[in-house]
Amino acid sequence: MPTVFDQFTHRTTDVTAQLAALDIPLTTPARPPADLNPADPWASNYTAPVNRSTLAWCTAATMLADHHHTGIDRQVLAADALLRELGVRGLAQLHSDFCAGAPIDYRFTPCPYCSGIGEDPTQPACEEVGCAPWLEFAGHDHPCPVCHGDDYQPQWIAEERMTELEELLADAIEERERRASLRYRIRARLYTGRRAPNGPTGDGTPR
């Protein structure tokens, strides 16, 4: 019976199969170190190879391809750059960029890396992620590095948001009515002030 973690294996298998079909290598060749120009603040000498068979890279390439409606092959270099510069946590930045820089609420939106389970789907060993030595035998979970373990429960979050929206709407209606009443009183006073000098006296005769 398939487990929830099987989806991550399928994601990696699907992307790497597409790369193989397109004859794209699964590992970028290491680049020779470049001579940095001190006068060029944008110069870089990234030389670390990128493993295109990792879940993080496959996730980045899939996100980019889906967002831009292109094939995986058109997004290979972009995924390479993202993982070189930002690593796995760059997936959160990428997700936010797709939403015009808005923060992502992973309680309501499924995490692109862990699909909402809240744990690191690669199930790394403690030494890989730098856990304290006394935690290595505690059997603790490793939170997802993208959503930081947010509990994906849209059915509860949606209800909370609807309640908040109803409260905001009620406050807005009350504020609109209060302002409308104030504007009415101001207009009434101004109207009365303009009419008073030429208006009738108390006995009905003109002033």
Q: Does 92 reside within a domain?
A: yes
Q: Does 94 reside within a domain?
A: yes
Q: Which of 87, 105, 123 is the last residue of a domain?
A: 105
Instruction: Looking at the structure, tell me whether residues 10 and 98 fall in a common domain.
Output: yes
List beta partners, residue 143.
119
In total, how many domains does the chain have? 2
Query: Between 75 and 199, whose confidence is greater?
Result: 75
Query: Between 174 and 34, whose confidence is greater?
Result: 174
Cα angle 39, 97, 44 (rounded to 5 degrees) comes to 20
Instruction: Looking at the structure, tell me whether residues 21 and 83 fall in a common domain.
Output: yes
Lowest-confidence region among 20-34, 63-77, 94-108: 20-34
Q: Does 118 reside within a domain?
A: no
Instruction: Looking at the structure, tell me whether residues 100 and 176 fall in a common domain.
Output: no
Cβ contact 109:92 at 8 Å: no
Q: What is the pLDDT of residue 179?
A: 85
Q: Does 40 reside within a domain?
A: no
Mean residue pLDDT across the chain: 84
Q: Does 17 reside within a domain?
A: yes
Length of the chain: 207
Termini Cα distance of the chain:
96
Q: Does 175 reside within a domain?
A: yes
- C-alpha distances in angstroms, 36 versus 41, 43, 45, 86, 89? 9, 6, 7, 21, 27
Q: Does 182 reside within a domain?
A: yes
pLDDT tops 60 at residue 177 = yes
Q: Does 141 reside within a domain?
A: no
Instruction: Looking at the structure, tell me whether residues 20 and 84 fall in a common domain.
Output: yes
Q: What is the pLDDT of residue 80?
A: 94
Q: What is the pLDDT of residue 83?
A: 94
pLDDT in tens, 32-82: 555 666 676 655 555 678 999 999 999 999 999 999 999 999 999 999 999
Instruction: Looking at the structure, tell me whether residues 101 and 169 fall in a common domain.
Output: no
The domain containing residue 58 runs over which residues?
6-30+45-105
Instruction: Looking at the structure, tell me whether residues 12 and 99 fall in a common domain.
Output: yes
Q: Which one, of 124, 122, 126, 123, lies nearest residue 138 by Cα?
A: 126
Instruction: Looking at the structure, tell me whether residues 11 and 76 fall in a common domain.
Output: yes
Q: What is the pLDDT of residue 60?
A: 97
